[in-house]
Each structure stands twice: as structure tokens, then as C-alpha cells.
């Protein structure tokens, strides 16, 4: 059962990745074709494995953050709603990663990852804190953050993956990379937009 959920997550991730690589947003009315092509590539056999099995082998089970962000991107390509991942979610993920990863990679004797196991004495506090943050995010209409946190709690409670640790449902390096790239890309975009607007204003005033 855990394999089904995990492979489903990797399917979404690969679909988003392929749609991004082929720049399906630019395919206009042919975007469904991009979806079909991407879906076929996800289950293509390469040597003795499927592409999706390589993905699972390399990246392990994907966090709810990654799945939600990839889902948002897939929906964005389809154009059904002009959705983008929220900056609140991205900054939260980056802040968490800044603390979690250096410590879990051996910076000190403190291992925050251990807090995510249900037998750890701080686990109830950690789970309750996440629920409170999720409620606050929901109250202030930060929907994506609220959805990620609620799905994390649900997936962890149901142990839908092999992992028994809350952190694995919440965050992974792919989510961190996506947030980082997205924020940098967004920042460059806004700076270049301002620059172009400035030039346009100057040209118009000269005319």
C-alpha cells in the first residue's frame, strides 16, 4: 500500500518535471498532448526499471510540500486556474530546511529529525504545534500552507509511506530546491520587469 502512495507522488512529481522541461505552458491549445506525452514518459521502461522506479530509488518518498507544489504547477499548466505556489509556503519551507538539514547532517548532538518519531517525548508537542500553525494559516487564508500542513498530519497519522517520521511527510530536499529556484526566479522576474518598465517610461518621456 505504501508503494502505491509513493509511486503516485512520484507520478505527480515527474509529470510536473516533464511539463516544465518541455515548457508545456507554451504549447497553447495543445497542452493536453503535453500531458499525454509526459504521462507516457513517467512509465517508460529504461533497462530493467520504469522511470518512476528510478525516481523513487533516487529521491525516496516525496513530502506533501513537494506533491502540493507539483500539483499546483500541473494545474497551472492546464490553465484551469492561474495558480502559483504561495510565497508564505516557500519561505516557511526554506526557514525549516535551514534549521533541520545542518543539524541532521551532524552539526551537533541535537537531532531534530528524532522529534518526528511518535515515541519521542517532544512528538506530541511538535504535532500539536503543526496543527496550531495550520489553523493560523487557515484563519489568515494562507491556503497552501494550511493544506500542506493538514495533509502532512493526515499522511503521517495514516502512515501512508514507509516512513514513521513526521518530517518525511512535511519536507524533502526537492521541495527546498523548488522553493529556492521559484523565489530566485520570481525575484529576477520582478527586478527585470521593473527595469523594463523604467526603460519604457524613459523612452516615452524622451518621445
Partner 1 sequence: MITKIKKIFVPLLIVIGLALSLSKEQFDEPLFWLDTSLSKAVPEQQAKLSSFKMMPVPTKAVHSATSVELRNGNLLAMWYGGSREGHVDVALYSAEFNTSKQVWSEPKKVLDRYNAANDLNRYIKKIGNPVLIKHPQGPLVLVYVSVSLAGWATSQLNMALSYDDGQTWHASKRLVTSPFINISTLVKNDGVIYQDGTIGITAYHELLGEFSEMVRVTLDGEMVEKYRMTRGKNTIQPTLIVKNEKEAFALMRDSSRSIQRAHYADTQDGGKTWGEFEALDVQNSNSAVFIFNDKKLRSWMVYNDQTRDMEHSRNNLVLAVSNDEGKTWKNVYYFENKELNQDLAEKFAYPWVEPTTNGEYHLFYTWSRKEIKHTVFNDAWLETLL
| Torsional sign, CA 107, 110, 97, 175 | positive
Closer to partner 1 by CB, 108 or 204: give it.
Answer: 108
| Terminal Cα-to-Cα distance of the chain (whole angstroms) | 67
Q: Which of 42, 146, 178, 179 binds partner 1 (CB under 8 A)?
A: 146
153 binds partner 1 (CB under 8 A): yes
**97-119 residues labelled b (16+ CB within 10 A) or e (exposed):** beebeeeeeeeeeeebbebbeee
- Kindly report the length of the chain: 207
Q: Which stretch binds partner 1 (CB under 8 A): 23-31, 155-163, 180-188, 194-202?
A: 155-163
Question: At its nearest, how many Å lie between partner 1 and the CB of residue 45?
Answer: 12
Q: Which stretch binds partner 1 (CB under 8 A): 17-25, 67-75, 168-176, 187-195?
A: 168-176
Q: Which of 99, 131, 184, 199 binds partner 1 (CB under 8 A)?
A: 131
12-71 positions binding partner 1, by CB under 8 A? 48-49, 53-54, 56-61
What CA–CA distance (Å, rounded) separates 97 from 152? 16
What is the chain's alpha carbon radius of gyration, rounded to the nearest angstrom? 20
Cβ neighbours of residue 174 closer than 8 Å, sequence gap 6 or more: 13, 59, 62, 63, 66
Question: At its nearest, how many Å lie between partner 1 and the CB of residue 190?
Answer: 27
Binding site for partner 1 (CB under 8 A): 3, 6-7, 48-49, 53-54, 56-61, 100-101, 104-111, 113-114, 116-120, 123-124, 127-128, 131, 134-135, 138, 143, 146-147, 149-159, 161-168, 171-174
Amino acid at each position: 500500500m505504501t508503494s502505491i502512495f509513493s509511486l503516485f507522488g512520484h507520478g505527480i512529481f515527474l509529470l510536473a518535471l516533464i511539463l516544465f522541461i518541455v515548457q508545456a505552458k507554451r504549447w497553447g491549445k495543445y497542452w493536453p498532448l503535453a500531458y499525454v506525452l509526459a504521462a507516457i514518459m513517467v512509465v517508460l521502461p529504461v533497462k530493467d526499471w520504469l522511470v518512476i522506479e528510478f525516481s523513487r530509488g533516487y529521491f525516496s518518498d516525496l513530502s506533501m510540500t513537494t506533491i502540493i507544489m507539483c500539483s499546483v504547477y500541473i494545474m497551472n499548466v492546464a490553465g484551469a486556474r492561474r495558480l502559483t505556489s504561495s510565497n508564505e509556503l516557500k519561505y516557511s519551507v526554506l526557514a525549516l530546511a535551514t534549521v533541520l538539514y545542518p543539524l541532521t547532517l551532524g552539526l551537533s548532538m541535537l537531532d531534530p529529525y528524532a522529534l518526528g518519531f511518535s515515541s519521542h517525548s517532544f512528538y506530541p508537542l511538535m504535532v500539536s504545534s503543526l496543527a496550531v500553525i495550520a489553523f493560523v494559516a487557515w484563519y489568515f487564508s494562507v491556503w497552501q500552507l494550511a493544506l500542506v500542513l493538514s495533509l502532512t498530519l493526515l499522511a503521517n497519522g495514516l502512515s501512508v509511506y514507509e516512513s514513521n517520521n513526521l518530517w518525511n511527510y512535511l519536507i524533502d530536499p526537492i521541495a527546498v530546491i523548488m522553493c529556492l529556484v521559484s523565489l530566485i526566479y520570481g525575484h529576477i522576474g520582478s527586478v527585470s520587469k521593473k527595469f523594463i518598465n523604467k526603460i519604457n517610461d524613459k523612452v516615452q518621456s524622451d518621445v
